[in-house]
Structure 1
């Protein structure tokens, strides 16, 4: 095996790890994957808040905003999923943040009836993972959690979903994304699972493979 061939192998070996690192640099918003690849999710509302605006809102516990859509009951329930990226002042202590979910329906004879337990989203450090999010103009190391609820509404109802930041412990929010969609999400692909440690492990394995190939080539010579 020539040195040129070894160089090519190096590029191929490092390519997957480099791609993962690049993908993680814009890890928020995290991708949503359908349970069935042949039936992609239909995104009906999508909004992201980041940078100084979210820090002011989290300090004053102000509302993030409202997502609106016209419900099509033939497509099934609507799911709200929230990706929450934050730093943890004390990485060894438990962390939690609450987001109130307000829902109003228009153009329907019956008001929305939402169970109390679906009116709040709880982000907990036990279900968060390390990642990298673009905050402002540069990437930042954060913890990311994903939580959501599914809702059923009357066909044709105009629905407004509002989000209000509430109490939090040991979490400083840096970016939040909310999406509404029809379809079934693949719950196996949770945010934060591809950690920086995992990326470094992939790179180390690739370098180790190259080194082993180099030793094999030297012995042949």
Structure 2
């Protein structure tokens, strides 16, 4: 089978994970190009992953790189526009969550996906494929716990990684859209329904940078 040539955009904390998976762990995939605005990340791609074709501009990578598909692991606010550009350039697309940081942008991405039924698009809600969550879903479907009516989810990011979260807080979409989006997706999956009302509250105790970015470091929500 001919290998799928992939270009990746974004080589930060999670981008490196995706890049390594594409380069070394996914059969019939080949990491042939990388794009980042950070010189150190492009150096990483060249030295650690053997990528020769590197770019600082996403549009240039789409136009010049020998790629069949694009993995988008950039900051959340760029996802929708880059999804549309990649699809319009004839590339299959994998994008990290969230789809976007506002409804208008998400609708634009949706239109772009519908515009290209010949191409594959996938959004990174990987927990539906995690064996532990898939096992829980099997139990739900089998009726072994009765009819589920409530899902409780708790998540925490380690303090050791907080500086990265602070750096991207102004553009990430915040604690709910960027982080709790996985839990929201699982609730929709397990219960087979969408929320009709949402109540949320947040607070910042240690890192005022989150508050300055219009976000909070701790949040709780009821759907």
TM bucket by the smaller chain? Answer: under 0.3
Over alpha carbons, which structure has the higher Rg? 1
Structure 2 length normalisation: TM-score? 0.23
Q: Which has the higher contact order (CA 8 A, sep 6+)?
A: 1
Structure whose residues are more often helix by fraction: 2
